[in-house]
Structure 1
Amino acid sequence: MSTELEYSATLTGASFMFYEFKQVISLRLSGFSEQDIRKKVLSENLFQYQINASLKRSLPSVLRRARILDEMLCQMVLEQSLEAGKLINLYAIMKTDRLFFEFMNEVVREKLESNHYLLEKKDLNLYFVSKAEQDTGVAGWTEQTVTKLKNVIQRILLESGILKDKQTGELSRILMDDQLKQHLIHIGDVAYVRAMGE
């Protein structure tokens, strides 16, 4: 469970990044070590970024996400449908980012369970206010950092298919592949399946 993780604002430099995630998973399955992947991505600009600083800022997050996946989940990212791959990326983001996991679990899951398919600005605001009350680290973040995190959270929800439209805030239920769902339950991660609204 992500609760051992500290709250962090690293998500500001690392959004959904599904393309980058797939690249790293592919290299990992080809037998590259994490160090070799890092070198290859940086030397060949595999993520096709214009600015090297962006690459250096986002690569650690992508590597962290790839690191928590077992062999089967890695295979599924490359071999299953695009939707399944995106859900595995969403799962990896939740596994490596406590703030995002708790948002999914405390806000998104509750809305989907009560058939309330609307994510409003106030939901994000209230979430960050409550986290700032619970944690001095979060309380110390600048307004700019919090605003950026809110935007990144919305973008991740949009790219994963949970948020239909950023303007209206309309949420939609994901359809998780049964093989993926069973595997996540089998490895003890039912809390993440529930957080995605399944």
Structure 2
Amino acid sequence: MTTELDYSSVLTGAAFMFYEFKQVATLKDQGLSDEEIRKKVVEENLFQHAKISSLQRGLPSILRRVNVLDDVLRKMVIEESVEVGKAINLYAIMKTDRLFFEFIKEVIQEKFQTNNYSFEKKDLNMYFTVKAEESKNIAEWTEATVQKLKQVYIKILLDTGMLKDKKSDELNRLIIDEQIKEHLRQIGDAKYVQAMGE
């Protein structure tokens, strides 16, 4: 997929959602279509969300993520450790969300390259300010949307282990399983491996 993704704020409704991601990957592996998965998730409340609306808001993003995985990566999500699954989920988020990928590449990867493990709110604020100057689309988003995205980005960093904990501003390099790195390189997605700090 070489088409350039548009900037989007859909992550406000999806966040990391690893548990849901793994369930959808499993259903996909069983041969269910997107439509069948949507139906099953909603009718059986598979994600066990209190509100159907939040379930329906997150599901399209989860499906998009699972759909960018090939059979090998999908099997890894289902069969390998939680750490492997989380790294693949992070890859899938970057692959389906241009703004988040650029954040990881331009902010986090850059810090790792200079051995700077400090991550502050101002890094995130500066990133969104620059992007709003570069993109009319982002400039038109409400302050509430931008704030929500910032919260989601921090939550993803926490959920993946890239940010040590909520109180600290310390970044961690992810230890990515060799088979994931190798596979992503083979399919031409080495840039995502680099963005994760390898």
CA distance in 2, matches of 1:21, 1:126: 30
Residue by residue over 1:163-193, the C-alpha shift from the partner in whole angstroms, topping out at 9 and shown as x without a partner, is 1122222100111110110000000001100
What is residue 108 of structure 1 aligned with on the other side? 108
What is residue 33 of structure 1 aligned with on the other side? 33
What is residue 69 of structure 2 aligned with on the other side? 69
Deviates more, 1:158-167 or 1:90-99: 158-167
- The TM-score normalised by the length of structure 2 is 0.98
- Give the ranges of 4+ consecutive aligned residues of structure 1 lying more than 6 Å apart after TM superposition: none
Structure 1 residue 3, shift from structure 2 partner: 6.9
Q: Unmatched 5+ residue regions in structure 1?
A: none
Matching of residue 99 in structure 1 with residue 89 in structure 2: no
What is residue 140 of structure 2 aligned with on the other side? 140
Matching of residue 24 in structure 1 with residue 53 in structure 2: no
CA distance in 1, matches of 2:2, 2:61: 15
Residue by residue over 1:125-172, the C-alpha shift from the partner in whole angstroms, topping out at 9 and shown as x without a partner, is 110010001000100111111111000000001001111122222100
- The TM-score normalised by the length of structure 1 is 0.98
Q: Which amino acid aligns with 1:125?
A: N
Q: Which amino acid aligns with 2:122?
A: K
CA distance in 2, matches of 1:167, 1:97: 26
What is residue 4 of structure 2 aligned with on the other side? 4
Identity %: 60
**Contact 1:95 1:101 survives alignment (8 Å):** yes
Q: Which amino acid aligns with 1:87?
A: A
What is residue 79 of structure 2 aligned with on the other side? 79
Structure 1 residue 79, shift from structure 2 partner: 1.1
What is residue 129 of structure 2 aligned with on the other side? 129
Aligned pairs for 1:34-53 (under 5 A) are 34-53=34-53
**Contact 1:2 1:97 survives alignment (8 Å):** no
Q: Which amino acid aligns with 1:73?
A: L
CA distance in 1, matches of 2:142, 2:33: 37
Summarize the Cα distance change of 1:2–1:196 in structure 2 as closer, same or farther, 3 Å threshold: farther
Number of equivalenced pairs:
198
CA distance in 2, matches of 1:34, 1:9: 22
What is residue 170 of structure 1 aligned with on the other side? 170
